[in-house]
Amino acid sequence: MNRILSLALAGALSLSLGSCMDHNEVPDNARALITAQQLPAANTDILQVKEKYSAPISGNNTFEEVKEDVIFEGVVVANDISGNLYQTLVLRDIKSTPGAPDDQCITVGVKTSTLFPHFALGQRVRINLNGLYIGNYSRTPKIGRPYYTSAGNLRLGPMLLEDVSTHIALVGTPNPKAPELTPRDLTTAAAASWLENKSNRNYLNCPLLATVSGKIKEVQGAEANTPAKGALSGKLEPLPKIFAPKALYDAGFGVDRTLLLDNSTAGFTIRESHTLEALAELNETERDALLLPCDVLVRHFPKIELNDRAVTMLKCGQRPQFTEDISADQPIRVYDRSGTFIGLVEYQKEIGRLKALRLMNTDNGKRLQ
């Protein structure tokens, strides 16, 4: 199975380990349905974008809105086909020279669960950042839109799917032999020294398409006979250990492997995503434990908390009073005082009322009414 693996070094330097794939299952006209028909010509490149917005990119979960036409082109070098990337594309600057200053990549977040049919590896795309946000997410340069986490923190997340139709255009058809798909060779002793140099762990070298070589720490020595425990079910993985065990139920989910690089003391943590095959082997309770909360898909909307009486009124089809200063241009997430997600409402500002748009069945917190 072809994989794109994301590796992180001290939270600052990210690399991708990949193999070229020929996945053009969707006709060109179907791929173009979600993208813009055309955009103005590029006026910059990824390196210049990173330098222009170095402050939000190099901060700690910081971001900034782009308020002018900043247009660049890149080639898709990683997508979500293997399941290791979620709602994320990695673009590499066109005609990059591995190891040269122009060898730049950037991540693009898009709020949809299936990107690869529209953005195959080797697909050249053009992006206009005007109206989008640029910054970083977990120290990785990213393009997207802000959202509120469940803890109420503002973070840079994926852009909305409708943003794609106005900000991203396909250029030509996918080229599985595109030179940009050639990873940088980081298997030599010189490369190991480069990796160990902390000054190289910066936004200009992140993310990075690269080939690395090493050994999996957990299958060496005494650790090879010590099974890891699944983070969710507490089950032990079977022996002998392998890199990406499939028939683990939960034991492989959340079990990390450490890649010890050749010619180096550096190491990277590798985590496998859940596969459909592995999910099929779980029972209902185990699958439910893997589900994200239902409000994860609407966290880009503003959030309010209501008292029990107002929540009851919404459930009964009534419109509780509401007079706080909040935008009425988009749906609003409603939570009760215990933090339970109630649903989405419309703020009818002219009469100071909330109207239910979509409410949750709060008996089990999973199904929409």
Question: Looking at the chain, how many residues does it have?
Answer: 369
Give the angle 261-263-267 at the CA atoms, nearest 5°.
Answer: 25
Do residues 106 and 207 touch, judged by C-beta distance below 8 A?
Answer: yes
**Residue 369 pLDDT exceeds 80:** no
- Integer Cα distance of 16 and 211 in angstroms: 8
* 298-326 per-position pLDDT tens digit: 766 788 999 999 999 999 889 999 988 88
> pLDDT tens digits for 38-65?
899 999 999 999 999 999 999 888 999 9
Bond into 207 cis (ω within 30): yes
157 C-beta neighbours (distance < 10 Å), count: 22
Proportion of the chain above pLDDT 70, given as a percent: 70
**What is the average per-residue pLDDT within 351-366?**
73
Model pLDDT, residue 148: 86
Q: Can you tell me the mean pLDDT for 266-274?
A: 55
Region 338-362: mean pLDDT is 86
| Confidence tier at 214 by pLDDT (50, 70, 90) | confident
pLDDT tens for 11-37 read 334 443 433 333 334 444 445 567 888
**pLDDT of 133 strictly over 90:** yes
Interatomic CA distance for residues 319 and 309, integer angstroms: 11
Alpha carbon distance 102, 93 (integer Å): 7
Q: What is the pLDDT of residue 297?
A: 59
Among the ranges given (34-48, 155-169, 213-227), the one the predictor scored with the smallest mean pLDDT: 213-227
**pLDDT score recorded for residue 4:** 34
| Tokens representing residue 20 in the block | 């070229």
Backbone angles phi, psi at 311, to 5 degrees: -65, -45
User: Is residue 220 over pLDDT 50?
Assistant: yes
Mean pLDDT comparison of 123-137, 204-218, 236-250, highest-scoring range: 123-137
Greater model confidence, 340 or 144: 144
- Each residue's pLDDT tens digit, 275-306: 555 556 666 666 665 565 667 557 667 889 99
- 124 neighbors 74 (Cβ within 8 angstroms): yes
Q: Which domains does the chain have, with CATH numbers?
A: 4-185 (2.40.50), 213-285 (no CATH), 294-359 (2.30.130.10)
Please give the DSSP secondary-structure letter assigned to residue 98: T
DSSP state of 122: T
Q: Are strands 4-9 and 13-18 parallel, antiparallel or unpaired?
A: antiparallel
| Alpha helical stretches, state H, 38-177 | 46-52, 54-58, 161-167
Q: Is the pLDDT of residue 97 over 50?
A: yes
Range 61-74 average pLDDT? 95
